[in-house]
Structure 1
Amino acid sequence: MSDHTRSSAAQIAAALADGTTSVEVTQAHLDRIAATEPSINAFLHVDAEGALATAADVDRRREAGESLPALAGVPVAVKDLINTTGQPTTAGSRILEGWVPPYDATVVARLRAAGLPILGKTNLDEFAMGSSTEHSAYGDTRNPWDTDRIPGGSSGGSAAAVAAFEAPLALGTDTGGSIRQPGAMTGIVGVKPTYGGVSRYGVVAMASSLDQVGPMARTVEDAALLHEVIAGHDPLDSTSIDAPVPSVVEAARRGDVSGLRIGVIRELAGEGFQPGVQSRFDAAVEALAQAGAEIVEVSCPSFVHGIAAYYLVMPSEVSSNLARFDAMRYGLRVAPEGVDGPSAEQVMAASRDAGFGDEVKRRIVLGTYALSSGYYDAYYGSAQKVRTLIARDFSAAFEQVDVLLSPTAPTTAWRLGEKTSDPLAMYLEDICTIPANLAGLPGISVPIGLADDTGLPVGAQLLAPALADDRLYNAGAALERLVSMPVLQEVAR
């Protein structure tokens, strides 16, 4: 494996400034992808020509003495839920197979403006609905630590690409933990910014009040560098916050928890958590205490209702957002069998039946039911009340502490196929991550070592108040330095 692919994004940026070419670095990652993909399936599309063209342009501009952004020339992978001109955006679904968007998402436009070569589009659970990347219409993604196991989801392709050294950086999306949970499962850093802190314009919507784009990387500093590229107000996104971006890179480089009040969430640890996960988490808490942090146990009693509320709010928004995939304007169109001169409604029904997978259909049905006449108040309305209670729990907790801490997921990565027949077991994997999405708060998952009982990565999750993303990077960088994490395994040697 090339030294370029082993390096962090910050190290690559330094090497580029010192004379290494972006073409050389980008080609090394493309070679790594070619060698590794047969066993991982992290990418749905690789754009070697486009990535090398961007790299060559960056090299030309640098050679001419032009002042360039910090990550110019550093390759990146993009989750295939995010619109890219010149590359397909399928959302992991047959219903969008081969569709090439006519415009870039704002985050992609910002990557291009900053000079990052886009290696390609990464695999995901269909329309981001899943926790294992087993619900993609284009095959499972596998965990680089053990290719018989899942990489988490729904941003499992981005997580696996970073963990397998196919890309130093990647973009994911997080609706209920879809950046943080695969980050934990693959031993990398995953960040969900404050809701509205990063534009959602041009991102295929799953649940509009919950979705958020964020960075995935192998170090906290790298995640911060990518965060600063994609963050900031966007007038094209009505939910975008018009406020300064916190100094996340400076915070990541500071990494000092001395005197920081860290709240351990009572309801998100202990019984029901895998012993190996709990053991690593306890060791991380102790390391933070020894580094000078003040550890406080806090109670957030409404968090235990988070999954129930989420699986009413999210499917309701899914039902609404996916109504646009009607075979009339773009995407798959299927004629119903045995029908001469079918109506538009019959074509829509046949196309949606053929184009959507089982998990997507399940969530559409759940959401449609929750929004139906006579049930709206009992289900959707009640879930929104729980959402308010969760936000109040967060507010009360942050009156006592600066950041909150929990395991990112209750288990390490499970075997492929182990939970696909039991949706509830799959949903429960997001018990720790969902509350932050319901409240719109930022969160980061940082690798904290390997579980004693499985030898697989464990992640710790830090949560902060809205717009205090810099607190996460500060505490996350400190935790990263305090807790030894083995070098990620090489795969497909």
Structure 2
Amino acid sequence: MALGTAMDWRGGLDAGDLSSESLARAAFDRIRAHDGVLRAILATDEARSLDLARRADVRLRAGERTPVLGLPVILKDNLHWSGLPLTCGSRVLEGYVAPYDATVVRRLLEAGAVPIAKANLDEFAMGSSGEYSAFGPARNPWDTSRVPGGSSSGSVVAVAAGYAPLALGSDTGGSVRLPASFCNVTALRPTYGVLSRHGLTAMASSLDQVGPIAATAADLALALGAMAGTDPLDSTSVDLPDRERLADLQALDLKGLRIGLPRECFADGLEPGVRDLLDNALRTLEGQGAELVEVSLPHTRYAIDTYYLLCTSEVSSNLSRFDGVRYGLRTPSAEGGLPAMIARTRDQGLGDEVKRRILLGTFCLSKGYYDAFYIKALKARALIAEDFRAAFAQADILASPVSPGTAFPFGAKTDDPLSMYLADVFTVPTALAGLPCLSMPAGFTGGLPAGIQLIGPALSDVRLLEAAHTFQSLTRHHLETPTLSA
């Protein structure tokens, strides 16, 4: 079956030219053909997914028409899907089976979407490259010797490889946007609270957001419209204004739209090829009447430090529950009783990057250092958010790189954690400010894709998608797909 966007398949399903069952079967065929190399998938339940597809076909034959009805979707394996294993890419959750559905998963199921697989990820969503899964890394379908980006590596690879037209990832500091840039797909980090976090395994609760992944902005709109809304199980959830426009996303008139270019994001450090792609993309937008204006985000130079102080502090708290006592792996200890059992379980069940972040976070929260590090980071976060508020007084949306470069070879940064963390230098500021932002393809340099990031004020998610949809109506980068060997 030919690959297509979610909108293509939506049209075929509604016209009766396609069936949900045929799409699901094609997805499993494609997984079997290619995932031995790409390693994007951790778990499937084919019989269950095909049953869901047949139920969707019954609804379609009855005349029901909803945005995601019958469409296959991939779920990052830190989202609960009742009855399937949930590993978070870690050995410490060995044997754990999800007892309930995450709110976003439940809403997709109610809307008739068909989950077909759980996707690989950096362990507990900690990583920028996809190399930190306990089950081996997913591989970039454009060049399998290079990383796909992380932490939502499997979800992005699954969309890029055509397993499904939609996937869910999670974004804490760039975890859907960075791999989207590396793999030539489109991904959205919504305004904090627009998508419920209930059933998303917490890494850093004040930063985590579920993020949809697809080929196009119009596809993202289908998924976002099905999932958005307040949730009594998540007290941080909020309503999304103009949500009704997502079902039929329209292009945005760019005449007079002020696009802010943060000078800090276009300084030295960008690969020349990436800078050329960004310049071309901005000229395309300018050619439609958009006005490019320079803005400044002066405190974003502290964003990486601020992010990792706050993120690791929350990690050290949230991951204390994985101790061998309640669920998952338990490593018995002959001596030392309960403390020894917990220590052995965590030592054997958690990977090096997770341990590194737990240790850093515990240090930041410890007596004598809490004020010097954690409290100071909270103050810096407020200054970063204020920078964005000032920038949006001068511009309607902002544009920036997603990453300084393209996908790098496996092993290039694993011995240098700081270099790895700097891959997120352009994505973490928006996460700290809780703003909606998306990565969309900007073209290719040296045979590898790179993206451009659009950023909007809080709760401007719909307008941001409309702006991206306008850009994608003028370009074809997002329709390029990798050639996969069988």
TM-score interval, normalised by the smaller of the two chains:
over 0.9
Distance 1:255 1:37 in 2: 38
Alpha-carbon separation, structure 1, partners of 2:239 and 2:161: 36
**Structure 1 pair 67/251, CA: closer, same or farther in 2 (3 Å)?**
closer
Deviation at 1:287, TM superposition (A): 1.1
Q: Which residue of 2 aligns with 1:24?
A: 22
Secondary structure in 2 matching 1:51: helix
Q: Distance in 2 between matches of 1:244 and 1:11?
A: 26
Separation of aligned partners in 2, 1:230 and 1:490: 32
Name the CA distance, whole Å, in 2 between partners of 1:160 and 1:10: 19
1:256-304 C-alpha deviation (Å, 9 max, x unpaired)? 3222110011111231111111110011111111111011011100111
Distance 2:430 2:480 in 1: 29
2: CA distance between counterparts of 1:248 and 1:223? Answer: 12
Quote the offset at 1:245 in angstroms: 5.6
Instruction: Check conservation: 1:228, 1:245, Cα contact below 8 A.
Output: no
* Cα distance in structure 1, aligned partners of 2:229 and 2:298: 33
The question of 1:215 aligning with 2:209 is answered no
Q: CA deviation at 1:253?
A: 2.2
What are the residue-to-residue correspondences of 1:268-417 with 2, within 5 Å? 268-336=265-333, 339-340=334-335, 342-417=336-411
Instruction: Check conservation: 1:197, 1:245, Cα contact below 8 A.
Output: no
Give CA deviations for 1:37-86 in whole Å, capped at 9, x if unaligned.
011000001221111111101112222x2424221101000000001112
Which residue of 2 is the match for residue 464 of structure 1? 456
Distance 1:483 1:441 in 2: 26
1:95-110 equivalent positions in 2, closer than 5 A: 95-110=92-107
**Contact 2:190–2:211 under 8 Å retained in 1:** yes
Q: Does 1:492 align with 2:485?
A: yes
The residue identity in structure 1 corresponding to 2:473 is R
| Inter-partner Cα distance in structure 1 for 2:403 and 2:250 | 26
| Structure 2 counterpart of 1:237 | 234
Other-structure match for 2:34: 36
SS of equivalent to 1:254: coil
Report the alpha carbon displacement of residue 413 of structure 1 after superposing the two structures with TM.
0.3
Task: State whether residues 67 and 223 of structure 2, in contact with CA within 8 Å, keep that contact through their aligned partners in structure 1.
Answer: no
Corresponding residue SS for 2:35:
helix
Letter in 1 for 2:482: Q
List runs of 5+ in structure 2 lacking aligned partners: none
Query: 2-side partners of 1:483 and 1:283: how far apart?
Result: 11
Match of 1:482 in 2: 474
> Percent identity between the aligned chains?
50
Q: Select 1:58's aligned residue among 35, 56, 59.
A: 56
- Inter-partner Cα distance in structure 2 for 1:72 and 1:332: 37
State the secondary structure of the residue aligned to 2:58.
helix
- C-alpha contact (below 8 Å) 2:76/2:154 kept by paired residues: yes
AA in 2 matched with 1:437: A
Write the distance in 1 (CA, Å) between the matches of 2:423 and 2:320: 28
Q: Does 1:125 align with 2:122?
A: yes
- Corresponding residue number in structure 1 for 2:442: 448
Partner deviation per Cα, 1:147-189 (whole Å, 9 max, x = no partner) = 0011100001000000001111000000000011111000000
What secondary structure, in the 3-state scheme, does the structure 1 residue paired with 2:250 have?
Answer: helix
CA drift at 1:249: 2.2
Query: Are the equivalent residues in 2 in contact too, given 1:246–1:468 (CA < 8 A)?
Result: no
Unaligned runs of 5+ in 1: none
Identify the residue that residue 473 of structure 1 maps to in structure 2: 465
Aligned CA distance change for structure 1 residues 214 and 40 (closer, same or farther; 3 Å): same
**TM superposition shift of 1:481:** 2.5
1:99 Cα offset (Å): 1.2
Q: Is the 8 A contact 2:225 2:247 kept in 1?
A: no
Q: Distance in 2 between matches of 1:348 and 1:122?
A: 28
Cα distance, 1:255 vs. partner?
A: 3.5
CA distance in 1, matches of 2:174, 2:278: 18
Aligned residue-pair number: 484
SS of 2:136's partner is: coil
Query: Could you say which residue in structure 2 is the equivalent of 1:156?
Result: 153
* Mean CA deviation greater in 422-431 or 234-243: 234-243
In the TM superposition, what is the alpha-carbon distance from 1:252 to its structure 2 partner? 3.7
- Among 391, 405, 430, the residue aligned to 1:436: 430
| Cα shift at 1:21 | 1.2
Partner of 1:143: 140
Distance 1:483 1:376 in 2: 49
* Residue 78 of structure 2, aligned match among 70, 77, 81: 81
Q: What's the secondary structure of 1:472's corresponding residue? A: helix
SS in 2 for 1:107: helix
Letter of the 1:280 partner, please give it. L
SS of match in other structure, 2:194: coil
- Given that 1:247 and 1:470 are in contact with CA atoms closer than 8 Å, whether structure 2 keeps it comes out as no
Alignment of 1:206 onto 2:203? yes
**Secondary structure at 1:406 match in 2:** strand
Alignment counterpart, residue 425 of structure 1, candidates 419, 425, 448: 419
Contact (CA 8 Å) 2:95, 2:329: kept in 1 or not?
Answer: no
Give the deviation of 1:248 after TM superposition. Answer: 5.2
Structure 1 residues 66 and 36, CA gap change in structure 2 (3 angstroms): same
Q: Kindly provide the amino acid, as one letter, of the partner of residue 396 in structure 1.
A: A
2:194 is aligned with 1:197: yes
Question: Cα distance, 1:7 vs. partner?
Answer: 1.0
Cα offset for 1:13?
Answer: 1.1
Q: Aligned partners of 2:225, 2:242: CA distance in 1, in Å?
A: 7
- C-alpha change, 1:243 and 1:118, in structure 2 (3 Å) is closer
Change (3 A) 1:346 1:205: same
- 1:468 partner amino acid: S
Aligned to 1:253: 250
Residue 70 of structure 1 is aligned with which of 64, 67, 71? 67
Runs (4+) of structure 1 exceeding 3 A deviation are: 242-248
What is the rounded CA distance, in whole Å, between the counterparts of 1:194 and 1:111 in structure 2? 19
Give a deviation string over 1:349-370, Cα, whole Å, max 9, x none: 1100000000000000000000
